[in-house]
Amino acid sequence: MTHGIEADIEVAIQRANADAWNCIAVVLADRALEQARALDREMAGSRSAPPLAGVPFVVKSLFDVKGEPTLAGGPPDPSISVAAADSALVRQLSEAGAILIGIAHMDEYAYGFLGDNAHYGRVINPRDSSKVTGGSSSGSAAAVAAGIVPFAIGSDTNGSIRVPGALCGVYGLKPSFDHLSLAGSRALAQSLDHAGLLASSLSGLEAVWRVLAKAEPSPPDVGTGVSVGFASGDYERLADRGVREAMHALRAEWPEAPIIELDHVEESFAAASLVTAFEASRNHREIREQSPYRYSVTIASRLDSAAHVSLTDYALAKSYQGLLTQQFADLFVARRIDVLVAPCTPVKTLGVGEESVMLADTMMKASDAAGLFTRPFSLAGYPVLMLPAEATDSPGCALQLIGRPGDEHVLFSFAREVMKRLG
Strands 339-343 and 228-233: parallel
Any idea how long the chain is?
423
Active-site residue identified among 160, 176, 367, 378: 160
The angle, 0 to 180 degrees and rounded to 10, between the axes of the packed helices 202-213 and 408-422 is 170
Closest CA to 365 of 384, 346, 378: 346
**DSSP secondary-structure letter at 157?**
S
Which residue among 136, 140, 191, 232 is the active-site one? 136
The Cα–Cα gap between 354 and 243 comes to: 18
Q: How many C-beta atoms surround the C-beta of residue 423 within 10 A? A: 13
**DSSP β-ladder status, 356-359 and 339-343:** unpaired
H-helix segments, 68-117: 88-95
State the Cα–Cα distance between residues 226 and 243, nearest whole angstrom.
Answer: 24
CA 20 remoteness from chain centre: 22
**What residue ranges in 28-150 does DSSP mark as E strands?**
56-60, 99-104, 116-117, 121-122
Is the peptide bond prior to 136 cis by the omega test (within 30 degrees of 0)? Answer: yes
Read out DSSP for 280-310?
A: HHHHHHHHHHH-GGGS-HHHHHHHHHHTT--
Alpha-helical segments (H) within 96-150: 138-145
60 flagged as catalytic: yes
Helices (H) and strands (E) in the chain, counts: 14, 15
- Burial profile 285-308: b = 16 or more Cβ within 10 angstroms, e = fewer: eeebeeeeebbbeebbebbeebee
Q: Which amino acid is at 298?
A: T
Q: Which of 7, 22, 151 is nearest to 89 (CA)?
A: 151
* Residue in 134, 123, 172, 135 with CA at minimum distance from that of residue 25: 123
Q: Compute CA distances 259 → 251, 262, 337, whole Å.
A: 9, 9, 11
Catalytic residue among 60, 131, 174, 348: 60
Catalytic residue flag (residue 129): no
Query: Active-site residue 160, yes or no?
Result: yes
Known catalytic residues?
60, 136, 160
